[in-house]
Amino acid sequence: MLKSELVEEIVDSIDDDTWDELDEDELDVTISIWNRRLLLQLWEGYGVFNGEVDDDEVEELKEAVAEYLAREWPEEPDAHIFVIQSCLALKFLYNRPLHPQEIVHYQTFIEDGKARYFCPQRGKEAQGLCRYCCAEAIDELTEKREAQIAELAEKEGPKTALILKEAFAAGIQNAGVVTSDRLEFYEKVRRLCDRSACRFQGTTWACPPAVGTLDECREKVAPYEKMLLISTPFLLSDLLDFRELDYTSRDFHVITQDLGARLRPLLGDFFMMSNESCIECEKCTYPNAPCRYPERLQPSIEGFGFLVAELAKKAGIPYTNGQSTSTYFGAVFYNEEGK
């Protein structure tokens, strides 16, 4: 069948009233945030899907997922359809892993606009539903990463290598060091926030004006001698799908939050930034009350006045990663020696 026909089949498998409940997030059955957002993309008509899929393969995956859910999740059969249809979309429309980043912590590697996914939970011989997943065993990527870590350890020191190792494990694709004496803070970048070009300005502790003036931002990173600039690109099915951009931005926040959690027990003093706003709370306490989780707060890198394209050049990592991709940046500030 055509991929466009598979989209119609997925949408038609759910009745109109259920779609409305899904849209309003009022379903009385369990559905993950990842499956909900994926299905809503299809329902709202986002994405261009060209080509064909094998009918027999579609039916085989349907049956395999249905059997798995009947065995492992028998207590909520009415929720199974959302998992099944999401798996069909991930496998045949998006060519993405069947499990979300937040569960399996797969690593994405995009080169020349083509994505490869490496899953730490997949063995060389895939078993069960892993046989249908596009993610590969992580062994091949691990060898490449270990070489990068060793090179940076020799050049920058053991703490930098440790941070890079944890960054790769969290899902970061690219990273490079910028020393503090090469950092530039630009008022023109901050003015983008002041003009409300970004919808998060004045709504969260992670963005201006909550992060402080430009001079105050400079003071916050002054104690650190190095910045490890980190980035991960995401492959998009439709560059005009702003909902997908929101989802991938959130996925990057998941990665940087995971990295922060990994680093807290390993490092002494460090400071992290991520892209745009914050995902910790459904509604931020700003400006009426202090941040609920200050230890997990990762301010916007642009909100500090950094020109990310310039930082990427200084760090020696790509600013863009090919057509139909969106690349997000964050940073870890630290001292190589204990201070």
Could you read off the pLDDT of 227-253 as tens digits, one per residue?
999 999 887 766 666 777 777 888 899
Residue 26's CB is within 10 A of a number of other CB atoms, namely 8
CA–CA separation, 128 vs 67, rounded Å?
11
| CA dihedral angle for residue 68, residue 72, residue 73, residue 75, rounded to 10 degrees | 130
3-state helix, strand, coil in the chain (%, to 5): 45, 15, 40
Confidence of residue 317 (pLDDT cuts 50, 70, 90): very high
CA–CA separation, 102 vs 115, rounded Å?
18
Using omega within 30 degrees of 0 as the cis cutoff, is the peptide bond preceding 209 cis? yes
Residue 21's CB is within 10 A of a number of other CB atoms, namely 16
Q: Which of 321, 322, 319 is nearest to 309 (CA)?
A: 319
What pLDDT is recorded for position 277?
Answer: 83
4 CA to centre of own chain: 27
75 Cβ partners below 8 Å, 6+ apart?
none
Parallel, antiparallel, or unpaired for β 271-273 and 325-334?
Answer: antiparallel
CA–CA separation, 309 vs 91, rounded Å?
33
* Single-letter amino acid, residue 51: G
What pLDDT is recorded for position 265?
Answer: 94
What pLDDT is recorded for position 266?
Answer: 93
Check pLDDT > 80 for residue 338. no
* Single-letter amino acid, residue 224: Y
Q: 180 phi and psi, to 5 degrees?
A: -60, -30
Summarised one tens digit per residue, pLDDT across range 55-102 is: 999 999 999 999 999 999 999 999 999 999 999 999 999 888 898 777
pTM (two decimals)? 0.76
Parallel, antiparallel, or unpaired for β 136-137 and 114-119?
Answer: parallel
